[in-house]
Structures are given as C-alpha cells and as structure tokens.
Amino acid sequence: MAEVDAVSTGLIISVLVALLVVALAVAAFLYRTREPSLVPGDDETYLIRSPEGRIHALTADMKVRPEDPRIVQFQNRKQLRFPVYDPRFNALSHDRLVTDSGAISLRIHTTTPFPFTAVTNDGHTVTVTPSVSFGVDPARVTDLARLGDFGDQFERRIRSAFSGAIGRRKDEQLRESHHQIESEVTEELAGVETGTDALGVPLGITVFEARFSYRDGAALPSEVVIAPDTGATAAMPVTSADGADTAPDSPQRVALAPAASRGESAAHTSETPGAMQFLGTDLDKLLDQFRDRSPEQIATLLSLMEMQTRQNIVSMLSKSGGLVVFSARELGLEGNPALPERLSAARNAADEQPETE
C-alpha cells in the first residue's frame, strides 16, 4: 500500500512538472507573438489622453499598443513642423516633430528659416539667414498639443530676436559683435522657454544655439525651390510660376518679389567709384571706415580716394574718343620717384642704341 502511494505521488509530481513546463512554453510563445507595445525610448515620446481628458506624456509605468485609442492624434499635427532653408540651392523644405502614430522626436533639430531683412541702428539694411538648434523638452511636451502652428510661431520669434539684437547696433558694431549677437539671441529664446524672459509663450522646447550669417543690403533670393510636403493630407495641384498645374509630390520653384538690385547705386557699377559717385547710404558706410582710425590710416584712405577719382576722370575723358594729354602734375605723379627713374632709364636706353648711317 505504501508503495502504491509513493508511485501515485511520483506520478502526480511528474504531471505537475509537465504541466508547468507546458505552461511556461505557452507563456513564452504568447509573449513572443503578442502585439508590440510602446514604451518610452531615447529618441521618441508619445502623448496619451487620460480618462479625464488630460494630455500627458508616456511614462515608464505605461504600456500602450500602437493602435491604442489613448494615443493623441493631433488634428493639426501636420503644423508641428519647422522650416529648413538651404542657401546653396535656394531650397526650402520642412521637417516634422510628430509622426502619424503620435510619436514626438526628442532628438536635436536645427531650423533655418527663410532669409529676412533687418535694419541696424544707423539705418543700414542687411539680409539675415538665421539657424537655431533646439529639442523638444520631454517634461513640457504637452505644450505642443496646445499650439496652432509651431513652425510659424517659432520662426516669428527667431526673426524678432535677431532683428532686435541687430537693431540695437550700428553697422560697424554689427561686424564686431557677431558672436555676441548670437549669444544674446540664444539667451532670449531660451529665456522664453524657461520663464526667465517675461515676454512670449513657451513652446515646449529647449534652445541650444542660435547662429546667423548676413549680407549687406536687401539681397533676398528672387525665387526659391520648395520641396514637397509628404505629410500634407490634401493632394492639391500646385500652380508653378509659369502658371502650369504640377503634381504636389514634385519640387516647386516659386518666384518671389524682386530683390533690390545692387546696380541701383552708382557706387556699384562696373567701374570702381570715385568720391563724388557715392549715395547717402554709401557715404555712411565710408564714414564708418574713418571712425576711430589713426591719422596715418585716414591719410591713406584719402590718398586712395583721390587716386581713384583721378582714374575715373581719365577713364571718362578717354571714352570721349579724342586725344587727351595730361601733365604729371594733373595726374598727381609729380614728385613720384618712380617717374624720374622711368624717364632716366628711357633716355639711357636711347643713348645706348647704335647709330645707323
């Protein structure tokens, strides 16, 4: 009887072990074949809507499926984008912050808005091409859900910050304080996000660096190539500059307002200008060259201007078609040691030539 009980106990234990192994195998199989879940990662986050209707970011204690109805699908998520302008090819495109599944990228992005004009404190116009590096702040990612158009708001804020920093300086100060301007704009944009700046509504991002390049004058491009927006929901035909309808999935070349021509000023013609050919703005720039200069530097600049003016006079009279003769004094060559040396060399060469019968 005891032997039977021992055999029954051993059989029961064997069956239980077999069932446990089968259960573990089934659990492993189900785990491998289960639907993928979303968990917080290093490069993306998801906005989740709670039963109370509040929007918050996906945290470590949450797991949701890609099709989970709690994932917030922005009605205006196509507006969560930012411009990227490439001056090498005059091309304008847009990068996005939100994918179709609701994920928001947390990597560092760089936006390069379209160039714009700014005016210095002394009235000089410059064309500015800004560039700002930023990233979405995971702790304030819900701020994006309340934005109507992230790209437009961020671009206006960048233009305003650079225009203000440039407008506080004169033309010669702009060249001397390039990096200081970049530092000021970075602090201003970052201050709005951290709350240290009283003006502006936070966008839910962290600003790392603001940089810019500039050119004198209103040198905006006359046309720009706009890359197709793959996230657009409506496939509307686009009318190109020549009036023809083209497909929305091809780059579009859009004609802009004509840029100011540098040839409008007489100082920018093909010939090098003389002192009397400068317009008011050109004279202002010329005066900047004399400011804070030593007497020797000013004398050199005046000498160069005088020689250039004399050259313009000679060039103008030579184009009249007649023979024009100038004395050494009129050409400003009197007292120049190079002229007597050249004349002496010419006389010596003539004396050394053999006489012919």
Query: 241: which residues sit within 8 A by CB, 6+ positions away?
Result: 223, 253, 254, 255
Q: What is the pLDDT of residues 85-118, one digit of tens each?
A: 988 888 888 888 887 777 888 889 999 999 999 9
CA neighbours within 13 Å on the CB side: how many for 21?
6
Q: What is the pTM of this model?
A: 0.62
* Residue pLDDT, tens place only, 53-83: 888 887 777 777 777 888 877 656 667 889 9
SS3 72: coil
Instruction: Output 282 or 138, whichever has higher pLDDT.
Output: 138
Number of neighbours of residue 259 by Cβ within 10 angstroms = 15
CB 315 within 8 A of CB 280: no
Q: Which of 121-130, 156-165, 245-254 has the lowest mean pLDDT?
A: 245-254
- Averaged pLDDT for residues 203-220: 90
Mean pLDDT, residues 177-189? 94
Q: Classify 299 in phi/psi space as left (phi over 0), alpha (psi -120 to 50) or beta.
A: alpha
Q: Decide which of 122 and 258 is more confident.
A: 122
Predicted confidence at residue 233, as pLDDT, reads: 45
pLDDT (0 to 100) of residue 303: 80
